[in-house]
Amino acid sequence: MTTDTRGDELDAVRSRIDAIDQEILALISERARCAQTVAHIKTESDGRAVQFYRPEREVSVLRRIKDANPGPLEGEEVARLFREIMSACLALERPLNAAFLGPEGTFTQAAAIKHFGHSVVTKAMATIDEIFREVEAGACDFGVVPVENSTEGVVSHTLDLFMSSPLRITGEVSLRIHHHLMSKETELGAIRTIYSHQQSLAQCRGWLDRYLPHAERIPVGSNADAARIVAGEPGAAAVAGFQASEIYGLEVLAERIEDEPGNTTRFLVIGKQDSPPSGQDKTSLLLSCRNKSGGLHALLLPLAAHGISMTRIESRPSRRGIWDYVFFIDIMGHRQDLPLAAALEHLEKDALLFKVLGSYPVAVL
Ligand SMILES: O=C(O)C(=O)C[C@]1(C(=O)O)C=C[C@@H](O)C=C1
C-alpha cells in the first residue's frame, strides 16, 4: 500500500518534470529564434563589421541570472547552464572558433570551453606563438593562452608575446587545476619515467618527491602531449587532467596530486575585437619607465590619485637594453570609465612605453 502510494507520487512528480521540460524546450527555442533575429538586425546595421559575439552582453546576462537565482541550484550552476544556452544561440548566429594550446584534452582547451561554452569550435595549436599567429592572421576568431598559475607564477612567454602583438585581451578565465597521475601501468612501483608540462611537474613536486623519488621527470610541451606519449610507453606515467586520461585510455593511479589544493590557472582570451564596458571590468596595460630610482613609483602615482586599484603587476626584461624593464599591470575598471580614462591619459604622458592590452569583463564563472 505504502509502496504503491510512493510509486504514484513518483509518477506524478515525473509527469510534472516532463511538462516542465516541454516548457523549457519551448522557451529555449523561442530564445534561439530571438538570437537569430538579433543576428539579422546586426548584419543589416553593421554590414561587414558585424560582431556577433558580445562579451559585455554575455556577462551581463550571466550576472543577472546569478542575481535573480532563487535556488535551490547554486548561482554558479545556473550560470553554467545559461552559459551553454548562449553558446548554442551564438553558434546559430555564427559559429565561433578559438585556438588553444593543444593537443586535445589540455587545460587550455577546458578554459576555452568554460569561457565560450561547448558550441565553440576549438582548434589545437602546438605552441603559444602559433595561437597568437592564428588569431592575428584571422584564421581563428579568438585564442586562449595561459598567463598565470597560483603555485608557479607567471607564464612569461605569454607576456613576452604581448609586447610585439597587435592583439587585444578580450576576456579572462580562471580554472581550478587538478592534476592526476595516469599510466598504462596499474602499479606505482612500475613507474620509471614521468612526463608532463614543466609547470605541472613543478606544481606536483612535493607529491612526486614523496611517492616517486627515483622516477625521471621529463618536461614536454603540454600535459596532453605527455598522456599521448605515455599511452605507448611501458613504465611511463603522465601528470595531466582527467580529460587526457579519457582521450588516451590511461588508468588514473593517483588523483589530485597537486601540492596546493587551491591550484588555479588564469587564462587570457585574445582577439581583435574590443569589449565595451560591462559595468565590472578589468584593464591590462604594458608600461615601461625610465630606469631611475623611484621611477615605477612615480609612474604609478596617477592610478592612486584617481582611486584605481591595481590587482597585479609583473615585470619582464624588455630585451631592448640590459636595464630596461616593462611592467604588465592589471587594474580594475574599463578604459572608457571616467576616472580610469583620466588616469591613463596621465600615465601615457609619463611612460616610456604605454600600451593598453585591453579592457574586458571580470569573469562570471
Ligand atoms: O545580444 C546579442 O547581441 C546576441 O547576439 C544574443 C546573445 C544571447 O544568446 O543572449 C548571443 C551571443 C552574444 O555573444 C550575446 C548574446
**Nearest atom in ligand 1 to 35's CA:** 6
Q: Which of 254, 289, 309 is the last residue of a domain?
A: 254
For residue 306, give the CATH number of its domain.
Answer: 3.30.70.260
Per-residue pLDDT of the chain (365 residues; tens, 9 = 90+): 566 778 999 999 999 999 999 999 999 999 999 999 999 999 999 877 789 999 999 999 999 999 999 999 999 999 999 999 999 999 999 999 999 988 888 888 999 999 999 999 999 998 899 999 999 999 999 999 989 876 556 678 888 899 889 999 999 999 998 999 999 999 999 999 999 988 899 999 999 999 999 999 999 988 888 999 999 999 999 999 988 999 999 999 999 999 988 888 899 999 998 899 999 999 999 998 776 667 788 888 999 999 999 999 988 877 666 557 789 999 999 999 999 999 999 999 888 889 999 999 999 99
Q: Cα of 314 to ligand 1 centre, how many Å? A: 34
Q: Which of 197, 224, 254 is the last residue of a domain?
A: 254
Which of 31, 65, 87, 90 to probe ligand 1 with, by most ligand atoms within 8 A of CB?
90
Residue 168 β-bridge partners = 271
**Nearest atom in ligand 1 to 53's CA:** 14
| Statement to judge: residues 130 and 57 lie in one domain | no
Q: Within a 10 A sphere around the Cβ of 290, how many other Cβ atoms?
A: 12
285 within domain boundaries: yes
Rounded Cα–Cα distance for residues 21 and 27 (Å): 10
**Nearest atom in ligand 1 to 54's CA:** 14
Characterize 128-140 residue by residue with b for buried, 16 or more Cβ atoms within 10 angstroms of its Cβ, and e for exposed: bebbbbbbbeeeb
Q: Which of 28, 42, 169 is nearest to 87 (CA)?
A: 28
List the grid coordinates of 232: 605507448
Q: Cα of 41 to ligand 1 centre, how many Å? A: 12
Q: Cα of 255 to ligand 1 centre, how many Å? A: 38
* Among protein residues, the one whose CA lies closest to atom 3 of ligand 1: 54
Q: Is the dihedral of CA 48, 50, 52, 54 positive or negative?
A: positive
Q: Cα of 86 to ligand 1 centre, how many Å? A: 7
The strand pair at 193-196 and 142-149 is best described as unpaired
Q: Which domain holds residue 310?
A: 274-361
Which of 38, 278, 364 to probe ligand 1 with, by most ligand atoms within 8 A of CB?
38
Q: Cα of 107 to ligand 1 centre, how many Å? A: 26
| Statement to judge: residues 22 and 64 lie in one domain | yes
352 within domain boundaries: yes
Q: Which of 298, 301, 331 is nearest to 314 (CA)?
A: 331
**Peptide bond connecting 166 to the previous residue in cis, omega within 30 degrees of 0:** no
316 within domain boundaries: yes
Q: Cα of 40 to ligand 1 centre, how many Å? A: 12
List the grid coordinates of 83: 552559459
Rounded Cα–Cα distance for residues 242 and 106 (Å): 10
Q: Which of 63, 92, 121 is the last residue of a domain?
A: 92
Q: Which of 327, 349, 345 is nearest to 336 (CA)?
A: 345
- Supply the ipTM of this predicted assembly: 0.99
pTM of the prediction?
A: 0.89
- The DSSP secondary-structure symbol of 273 reads P
Q: Cα of 120 to ligand 1 centre, how many Å? A: 14
Q: Cα of 276 to ligand 1 centre, how many Å? A: 14
Dump pLDDT digits (tens) for 81-103: 999 999 999 999 999 999 998 88
15 within domain boundaries: yes
**Number of structural domains in the chain:** 4
DSSP 26-94: HHHHHHHHHHHHHHHHHHHHHGGG-----HHHHHHHHHHHHHH--SSS-HHHHHHHHHHHHHHHHHHH-
What residues are in contact with ligand 1 under a 6 Å CB criterion?
A: 35, 38, 52-54, 57-58, 61, 86, 89-90, 93
250 within domain boundaries: yes
For residue 106, give the CATH number of its domain.
Answer: 3.40.190.10
